[in-house]
Structure 1
Amino acid sequence: MLMDTLHVITCLCLILHQAHGHLRNVATSNPKIQESIVNTHNRLRQQVNPPASDMLKMEWNTEAQRNAYNVARLCSFLHSFPSQRKITRPIRAQCGENIFMSSDETDWDSVIQSWYDEKEFFEYGYGTIDQDEMVGHYTQVVWSTSFLVGCAVNYCSDTDFPFLYICHYCPQGNMIGKEHRPYESGRPCSTCRNSCEGKLCKKLPGNKQNLDDVQKKTVG
């Protein structure tokens, strides 16, 4: 009986180890992966056309990462409830969510790029130009006031697309009635109150006024 129990435990540990092994190169617990995700988002946000006058520079948020992980581990493949996407620091905010599923391990750069590539079906100021195509992932990636991001990945067995990637964006984008204009067009950083860095508005540490402005722009 003891040997049978040990065999079951050994097999279970092996399964868990194998599942974890699938994620080794994309696990967001790795600071280098976190940095890469942030850099990819900022690079793409710099490239929007028409240029953005108010695009905030993104940074990593551990609370958003934890929320994304808690959702990913459920393997539901559906958007989570709003209550599962809230953060309290550095601001209290409701967060948006992008989901990507794959049959094979995919690097984060490609995942984020796939969301951004929906721009092919989007016209600034008008919205989607093809009702059969999605553009919401793109607009969330380039939503100017979403300046905090946290992502997670999970391996979900017994499905054709077991690799589940999730990013949470805070404050959330895709506000109803504003989806056609995810940012204000104009000369890069021309509406920033703070310094500009690589065509992006850089939030100054401890600048509560800036955080309040972000909340007003998102909710208003």
Structure 2
Amino acid sequence: MWVALAVTAWTVSLVLSYGNTAVSLPDIENEDFIKDCVRSHNKFRSEVNPRASDMLYMTWDPVLARVAKTWARNCQFAHNTQLHSSFKLHPNFSSLGENIWAGSLPQFSASSAITAWHNEIEYYEFRTQKCTWVCGHYTQVVWAASYKVGCAVQFCPSIHGTNIHDGAFFICNYGPGQYRGQPYTEGSSCSACPKDDQCLDNLCIGFRHKEYPSVALIMTTNKLSTQDLLNFWKTKKTCEVSTVSCRVVIFTPLPQHFFSQLSEPVISLPVPPPFISFTAVLLGELRRMQPLRNEPLLRVSAY
């Protein structure tokens, strides 16, 4: 199952009255919520039967969580309609996976929803890949190549496509998403991990679990003084552009002596006009350079 859409952050917990009970839905930055989502996925991934030789350890991705939150706000019990949009929503994944769950507010917890997806295992035969009912949520939970997850829950007065009112709509997005074939390769745990990976609870863990470099497209045609640029760098080092939380700043034109005063690694990247093409070229270059050990300051030279 797949997903794609632009996103904005949701940072406030929502407390609702359900009958005589106050129900709190966590936001996508809630640490307990994040831990619950990640822990539940990795638990089921580490316990697959037959054993997986290539199951990757899964970690949280805030961009995927924002994708999930934006789609959940539609309160439509259906998968995101923008499928297979190449790198549209995430700088590192050409397409994303998606699992959805809906229920009453008192029923909701991240772990119970993920468990419900996993319970589809009873309809799935691993060796024949036959599914007798609904299995796609299960196969996504245990899809070996998926190593990033981001989830969100939304209160909905009504969830279209169901008879649920005043309910919780829970979504998880995955990178990369699942596609045709077996969800994992049968074999001794971690026996087919990528090179240099370690084995943790029967799961392969490696460099890919570090945070992604992120990108900001902040451009000016004005010539700014070095001090102006340094002040801007210090005060605008965090920002949000489209789906990407950013700490990487681009200026054009750029004085040579500016870079000597920064501690961040600098990558020179010539970019052809028009400026509107910066996003695609830059994100493509970041993908090509993976893995990046440090978050770079990208110097862009326009021809």
TM class, shorter-length: 0.7 to 0.9
CA separation in 2, counterparts of 1:47 and 1:40? 11
User: What corresponds to 2:188 in structure 1?
Assistant: 187
| Greater RCO, 1 or 2 (C-alpha within 8 Å, sep 6+) | 1
Whether the 8 Å CA contact 2:75–2:158 is kept in 1: the answer is no
Residue segments in structure 2 that go unaligned for 5+ positions in a row? 1-12, 17-22, 211-286, 292-303
CA separation in 2, counterparts of 1:60 and 1:96? 14
Q: 1:20 aligns with which of 11, 14, 17?
A: 14
User: What corresponds to 1:167 in structure 2?
Assistant: 172
Q: Please report the TM-score for the alignment, with normalisation by the length of structure 1.
A: 0.77
Report deviation, 1:113.
0.3
User: What corresponds to 1:9 in structure 2?
Assistant: none
The 5 A counterparts of 1:42-57 are: 42-57=42-57
Higher strand share: 2
Aligned residues: 185
Partner amino acid for 2:188?
R
Work out the percentage of aligned pairs sharing the same amino acid: 34
Report deviation, 1:125.
2.2
Report deviation, 1:74.
1.2
Moved over 6 A (4+): none
CA separation in 2, counterparts of 1:92 and 1:53? 23
Report deviation, 1:67.
0.4
Residue segments in structure 1 that go unaligned for 5+ positions in a row? 1-18, 213-220
Report deviation, 1:85.
7.5
The 5 A counterparts of 1:105-184 are: 105=106, 106-130=108-132, 133-159=133-159, 160-161=163-164, 162-173=167-178, 175-176=179-180, 178=181, 181-184=182-185
User: What corresponds to 1:87 in structure 2?
Assistant: 90
Whether the 8 Å CA contact 1:67–1:85 is kept in 2: the answer is no
Deviates more, 1:159-168 or 1:21-30: 21-30
Report deviation, 1:32.
1.7
User: What corresponds to 1:8 in structure 2?
Assistant: none
